[in-house]
Amino acid sequence: MHNDISEILFSEQDLAIRVRELGEAITRDYADVAGDAGIVVVSILRGGAVFTCDLIRAIDLPLEVDFMAVSSYGNGAKSSGVVRILKDLSTDIRGRHVVIAEGIIDSGLTLKYLLKNLQSREPASLTVAALMRKDTPAQADIPCRYIGFECPDEFIVGYGLDFAEHYRNLPYIGVLKPEIYQ
């Protein structure tokens, strides 16, 4: 285990099993509507990238994957509440079945903004697959169809999630020692 981590919350194996289950659920739920065009998985960079790569390989349907980069945290430990689009989609999602793949819901502000933004492009449907949902007081009410794990309100990193751009490459999700971010 990395020296800056106090505890592993979800092991590499826990993640593999759960992501596979989410992929199977999406496969079942979209089998009738996917058609030849398939669904569009919108990956939210950067925290959702690792989850997305595993998730799409667990979905047995035609699909396109596209990426959107947004940032609300910068290098801080708290959400600024201001969401900036750093990179927009290349795909026109109008009339498409879209699944957003996000690493974590914390305050919910990022997804609240994204849902409104993507809905305005008139997709055929729009749902959220979030690997983690933090048990945070006053979280925005986000309709999230697929959730990997509920997690405690601690600073967690790994499997795509960072603190100040570090730890994204850890294969597990762990709790960051408070002395690292305080």
Residue 37 or 53: the one with the smaller Cβ distance to ligand PRP is 53
* Residue count, binding to ligand PRP (CB under 6 A): 18
* Residues annotated as catalytic (active site), given as ranges: 106
CB of 67 to Mg ion, least distance (A): 15
Q: Which of residues 44-103 bind ligand PRP (CB under 6 A)?
A: 44-47, 71-73, 79, 102-103
Name the residue nearer to Mg ion (CB basis): 57 or 166: 166
CA distances from 149 to 11, 36, 181 (A): 12, 31, 23
Exposure class string for 24-46: b at 16+ Cβ within 10 A, else e: eebbebbeeebeeebbbbbbbbb
Among 54, 102, 106, 162, binds Mg ion (CB under 5 A): 162
Is 159:173 a contact under the CB 8 Å cutoff? Answer: yes
- Using only the alpha carbons of the chain, give its radius of gyration: 16
Taking the least distance from each CB to ligand PRP, the nearer of 36 and 165 is 165
Burial class (CB in 10 A: 0-12, 13-18, 19+), 92: exposed
Contact of residue 107 among ligand PRP, Mg ion, none (CB under 5-8 Å per partner type): ligand PRP
Q: Which residues bind Mg ion (CB under 5 A)?
A: 73, 162
